Amino acid sequence: MTFETLDIRRDGAVVFATITAAPINLIGPALVRDLVSFVIEAEADAGIQVVVFKSGDPDFFIAHVDVTRISEYRQETIPLAGEPSLGLLFRRLSLSRLITIAQIEGRVRAAGNEFVLACDMRFAALETAIFAQPETGYGLVPGAGGMQHLARLVGRARALEIMLSGEDYNAAIAERYGWINRAMPAAELDGFVRALAQRIAKFPASARNGVKTRVNSLTLASAEEFREDSDLFLERSRDPVSQARTQIALQQHGFQTREGELDLARQLDRLS
Amino acid sequence: MTFETLDIRRDGAVVFATITAAPINLIGPALVRDLVSFVIEAEADAGIQVVVFKSGDPDFFIAHVDVTRISEYRQETIPLAGEPSLGLLFRRLSLSRLITIAQIEGRVRAAGNEFVLACDMRFAALETAIFAQPETGYGLVPGAGGMQHLARLVGRARALEIMLSGEDYNAAIAERYGWINRAMPAAELDGFVRALAQRIAKFPASARNGVKTRVNSLTLASAEEFREDSDLFLERSRDPVSQARTQIALQQHGFQTREGELDLARQLDRLS
Amino acid sequence: MTFETLDIRRDGAVVFATITAAPINLIGPALVRDLVSFVIEAEADAGIQVVVFKSGDPDFFIAHVDVTRISEYRQETIPLAGEPSLGLLFRRLSLSRLITIAQIEGRVRAAGNEFVLACDMRFAALETAIFAQPETGYGLVPGAGGMQHLARLVGRARALEIMLSGEDYNAAIAERYGWINRAMPAAELDGFVRALAQRIAKFPASARNGVKTRVNSLTLASAEEFREDSDLFLERSRDPVSQARTQIALQQHGFQTREGELDLARQLDRLS
């Protein structure tokens, strides 16, 4: 399996998929196309049981979507999602027979955070991982499942705080909030995730599927709920207030540039 | 805006509402009337986006309801709740377009705790905040939404522990249980909440409303559920066992007095 | 009350039920029969309000079910569950008017963990308590309510991690995950639980029942959901893959022996 924005390495029944969408791992048409192809191929290979998603960039796991190419990347979701919707693509990933683990180092914000929320588990480096759901700062709402997952995982008050503040959260707080499974020192993270992935991959698939199917039936929001959020995001992205803020962010605040995104939370302060 | 039991200070789009219902911030007719008027006025002022609730008493955020004036304070809820019910008033607050933040120092128990559970976020001082839901000790049940919020936020076992023990909980444990957003040193609390409130207030209202509406649809219990708890509280408050315990608490254990309420959990031990 | 596998001690309205099903507190026909009889007798005694479950074995609270006697112990559940199902027996326990507290020292795995999840509260010793839901390692799924409780308590990602890894978790992590109420030093545990139980027992039963009934209606899965998991467990236990793994575990890896169960998570590694 060879992709433009994913580096694939296989070890037995575990595949390590490293995101390499330079310069800052934006979710654009290329990354969505590659993710879709990768999942289709991996699901078709009965020898693959577990997928670990990592980043090739120490500063960014996934920045967020490329706001200048929304309709393009949405089109790329169709082969797996059945309709143009990043939220429904991510929901489809949560339903996969593959067990997915996000190994998070660096920043993961907005739809990037929604991607890791769609994974079955999330482990993050205490020193470098940064989480945020900053859409409201741009007049948008999380449209790819973040509202669904956060409301269920961290409860009403913390979900509102995360999404209304748009602030950066480190891995220690993310763990305390129940946003991620666990935070640990970067030096331990790789070995921990590798051992966990191999262990899970060796257990009988039939039992694994039984558990995942039941847990999804109890915890995963319906396609209808994801679609409603997806539509609300699209509606807001066409709103003049949102478009104006996004343009100013792009032109004056380094939005979608490496330097501007390093401290996005403070850029948002200046935008207001 | 001038009120008997609320001190209002405005800073841009943020209003700081300090509860000053001496001697111990009991929820009686005056405080309910003022809260109702304040919310109606603040919602009508398009320049106000965020409300921070604080206490003017370092020992008490809100003690609980005045058990000698239940039908009076219930009447005062009608202009906002539509019917005499503190629970439905608090639920109405959770549905407000205003973003509400509780900045908690001192004790907040029973309906006081249900008030902060109705706020959109809760931040508390590690040194002084104390939380309790002690109704069962008096033969009552939480009737203003506490059962709804706690069951969803902290899960079955912790919700039962909190409500069946009626114990005092400090801010550190409240944070670990997911009862509050975060505990922090008192010296940092004021600055943290002020900055958060101002940040939220500067983001576009349309996006904020989108997020709050969706999160409420996923996490806020129905009016029917609140009404059922409200009715159960009323039913229990008329029960002879409950009335006898409350009378003894009032007459012999300093219930509703400053001194008796400082260590209410131990007063409850003696009552049993 | 005298039982083969339960040691009963009463202190006022609190009963301490110590599990003594040597050698490792397996859930077999004897322990189920005793649990059923004990609950029926305790519920019929209006003087009993709270039950504390403890273990007589410092290394094992409850190991898991005796996999060689599944249909036998299931038959023993009928007097309380109404049908042969450990999950429905445990659900019936969650609905009891008795308040149940699990005081956990030593290992509690699989159906043992599902038993403590059915209790109203769980407190565990930091030094010795170990939790696991390892069914998938044997080609099985948790069939006695574990999927229901874990999905609701710890959320999608942590529930999947716990059940797909089958790993051992210590009390500190179990507390951080929201799996148990609280972890504390073994030296404090006994006194803490005793005081809590006595306090709860002295509050009016009518209020306690009101709270428990309402919280159950919000948090306890339906009989239908429990039955579906129970059936899925039975189906998987008859699967050749599961039967082969279980036989190898019994014959070569010390499964259901004291020595083999001390480090069950590593035995599972070797099994794979």
Write the pLDDT tens digit of every residue in B242-263. 999 999 999 999 999 999 999 9
Averaged pLDDT score across all residues of chain C: 97
Domain of residue A244 covers 6-271
Nearest to A22, CA basis, from A34, A4, A39, A3: A4
A2 in C contact zone (CB under 8 Å): no
Residue at A1 is within a domain: no
Per-residue pLDDT of chain A (272 residues; tens, 9 = 90+): 899 999 999 999 999 999 999 999 999 999 999 999 999 999 999 999 999 999 999 999 999 999 999 999 999 999 999 999 999 999 999 999 999 999 999 999 999 999 999 999 999 999 999 999 999 999 999 999 999 999 999 999 999 999 999 999 999 999 999 999 999 999 999 999 999 999 999 999 999 999 999 999 999 999 999 999 999 999 999 999 999 999 999 999 999 999 999 999 999 989 98
- Contacts of C84 by beta carbon, 8 Å cutoff, 6+ apart: C71, C74, C75, C77, C78
Best mutation target among B140, B163, B164 (most C Cβ atoms within 10 Å) is B164
Structure confidence at residue B195 (pLDDT): 98
Q: Do C199 and B269 touch (CB under 8 A)?
A: yes
Residue at C119 is within a domain: yes
Query: Chains near C, with 3+ CB pairs < 8 A?
Result: A, B
Structure confidence at residue C272 (pLDDT): 82
Q: Are C50 and C83 in contact (CB under 8 A)?
A: no
The two structure tokens encoding residue A218: 């109890």
State how far the Cα of B27 lies from the Cα of A264, in Å rounded to an integer.
42
**H and E: helices and strands count for chain C:** 13, 10
Structure confidence at residue B225 (pLDDT): 98
State how far the Cα of A221 lies from the Cα of A145, in Å rounded to an integer.
9
Give whole-number Cα distances, C4 to C8, C25, C52, in Å.
Answer: 11, 12, 18
**A228 chain-B contacts, CB cut-off 8 A:** 214
A244 in B contact zone (CB under 8 Å): no
What residue in B sits closest to C203 (Cα-Cα)?
Answer: B137
Residue C129 scores a pLDDT above 90: yes
Q: What angle (nearest 5°) sits at the alpha carbon of residue A181, between those of residues A179 and A186?
A: 105
Work out the minimum CA distance from C70 to partner chain B, whole angstroms: 28
> Taking the CA of residue C192 as centre, how many other CA atoms within 13 Å lie in the half-sphere pointing to its CB?
20
- Contacts of C15 by beta carbon, 8 Å cutoff, 6+ apart: C8, C9, C42, C48, C50, C51, C52
What residue in B sits closest to C220 (Cα-Cα)?
Answer: B156
Q: List the beta bridge partners of residue B51.
A: B15, B100
State how far the Cα of A7 lies from the Cα of B83, in Å rounded to an integer.
61
DSSP letters for chain A:
---SSEEEEEETTEEEEEE--TTTT-B-HHHHHHHHHHHHHHHH-TT--EEEEEESSSSEEE--B-GGGHHHHHHHTHHHHSSS-HHHHHHHHHTSSSEEEEEE-SEEETHHHHHHHHSSEEEEETTT-EEE--GGGGT----SSHHHHHHHHHHHHHHHHHHHH---EEHHHHHHHTSSSEEE-HHHHHHHHHHHHHHHHHS-HHHHHHHHHHHHHHHSPPHHHHHHHHHHHHHHHTSHHHHHHHHHHHHHS-TTSHHHHHTHHHHHHHH-
- H/E stretch holding B255: none
Structure confidence at residue A174 (pLDDT): 98
Q: Do B120 and A178 touch (CB under 8 A)?
A: no
In 3-state terms, what secondary structure has residue C120? coil
A208 in C contact zone (CB under 8 Å): yes
Query: Chains near B, with 3+ CB pairs < 8 A?
Result: A, C
How many structural domains comprise chain C? 1
In 3-state terms, what secondary structure has residue C203? coil
State how far the Cα of C19 lies from the Cα of B12, in Å rounded to an integer.
63
Q: Do A152 and C151 touch (CB under 8 A)?
A: no
Residue at C133 is within a domain: yes
Residue at B128 is within a domain: yes
DSSP letters for B51-79:
EEEEESSSSEEE--B-TT-HHHHHHHTHH
Residue B1 scores a pLDDT above 90: no
Long-range contacts of B206-210 (CB under 8 A, 24+ apart): B206/A139, B206/A236, B206/A239, B206/A241, B207/A135, B207/A136, B207/A138, B207/A139, B207/A140, B207/A141, B207/A236, B207/A242, B208/A136, B208/A164, B208/B49, B208/B99, B209/B97, B210/A141, B210/A232, B210/A236
Work out the minimum CA distance from C254 to partner chain B, whole angstroms: 34
pLDDT tens for C55-77 read 999 999 999 999 999 999 999 99
Best mutation target among C114, C161, C237 (most A Cβ atoms within 10 Å) is C161
Token look-up 């429904």 returns: A88
What residue in B sits closest to C205 (Cα-Cα)?
Answer: B139
Residue at C1 is within a domain: no
Q: What angle (nearest 5°) sits at the alpha carbon of residue B1, between those of residues A272 and B3?
A: 130
Residue C187 scores a pLDDT above 90: yes
Count CB atoms within 10 A of the CB of residue B46.
Answer: 9
- What is the DSSP-derived secondary structure letter of residue C255? T
Work out the minimum CA distance from A11 to partner chain B, whole angstroms: 38
State how far the Cα of B153 lies from the Cα of B179, in Å rounded to an integer.
6
Q: What angle (nearest 5°) sits at the alpha carbon of residue C208, between those of residues C205 and C212?
A: 135
State how far the Cα of B78 lies from the Cα of B81, in Å rounded to an integer.
5
> Taking residues C218-231, what's their average pLDDT?
98
Residue at B33 is within a domain: yes
Structure confidence at residue C222 (pLDDT): 98
- H/E stretch holding B7: strand B6-11
- What is the DSSP-derived secondary structure letter of residue B129? -
Between B146-165 and A146-165, two packed helices, what is the crossing angle to 10 degrees? 90
State how far the Cα of C5 lies from the Cα of C72, in Å rounded to an integer.
16
> Taking residues B160-189, what's their average pLDDT?
98
Nearest to C57, CA basis, from C6, C110, C8, C116: C6
Residue A238 maps to which CATH number? 3.90.226.10
State how far the Cα of C270 lies from the Cα of C142, in Å rounded to an integer.
21
pTM of the model: 0.98
Work out the minimum CA distance from A78 to partner chain C, whole angstroms: 26
Q: Are C213 and B142 in contact (CB under 8 A)?
A: no
Q: List the beta bridge partners of residue C183.
A: C124
Inter-chain CB pairs, A–C, below 8 Å: 103
Q: What are the two backbone dihedrals, phi and then psi, of residue A98, each rounded to the nearest 5 degrees?
A: -70, 140
Q: Are B214 and A141 in contact (CB under 8 A)?
A: yes
- H/E stretch holding B191: helix B186-202
Q: Are C131 and C168 in contact (CB under 8 A)?
A: yes
Work out the minimum CA distance from C247 to partner chain B, whole angstroms: 36
- Contacts of A188 by beta carbon, 8 Å cutoff, 6+ apart: none
What residue in C sits closest to B241 (Cα-Cα)?
Answer: C204
Inter-chain CB pairs, B–C, below 8 Å: 102
pLDDT tens for C13-57 read 999 999 999 999 999 999 999 999 999 999 999 999 999 999 999
* For chain C, percent of residues with pLDDT exceeding 90: 98
Structure confidence at residue C260 (pLDDT): 94
Nearest to A16, CA basis, from A181, A207, A189, A169: A189
Residue at C80 is within a domain: yes
Structure confidence at residue B272 (pLDDT): 82
Q: Are A5 and A21 in contact (CB under 8 A)?
A: yes
Residue C1 scores a pLDDT above 90: no
- Cα radius of gyration rounded to whole Å, chain C: 17
* B86-90, B99-103, B266-270, C120-124: the lowest-pLDDT one: B266-270
- H/E stretch holding C261: helix C258-262
C207 vs B139, B152, B160: nearest CB: B139
B169 in C contact zone (CB under 8 Å): no
State how far the Cα of A246 lies from the Cα of A236, in Å rounded to an integer.
12
Residue at A195 is within a domain: yes
Q: Do C272 and A196 touch (CB under 8 A)?
A: no
> Taking residues B88-97, what's their average pLDDT?
98
C152 in A contact zone (CB under 8 Å): yes
Q: Do B152 and C218 touch (CB under 8 A)?
A: yes
What burial class does residue A185 get, using C-beta atoms within 10 Å of its C-beta: 0-12 exposed, 13-18 middle, 19+ buried? exposed
Q: Do A156 and B149 touch (CB under 8 A)?
A: yes
What burial class does residue A213 get, using C-beta atoms within 10 Å of its C-beta: 0-12 exposed, 13-18 middle, 19+ buried? middle
C164 vs A99, A153, A178: nearest CB: A99
**C135 chain-A contacts, CB cut-off 8 A:** 207
Token look-up 């260590």 returns: B263
Report the amino acid identity of residue C114.
Answer: E
A202 in C contact zone (CB under 8 Å): yes
First to last CA, chain A: 44
> Taking residues B111-117, what's their average pLDDT?
98
- Contacts of A112 by beta carbon, 8 Å cutoff, 6+ apart: A25, A27, A61, A62, A63, A64
C178 in B contact zone (CB under 8 Å): yes
The two structure tokens encoding residue B112: 């006081």
Q: Do B211 and A154 touch (CB under 8 A)?
A: no
Q: Do C207 and B160 touch (CB under 8 A)?
A: no
Q: Are C184 and C128 in contact (CB under 8 A)?
A: no
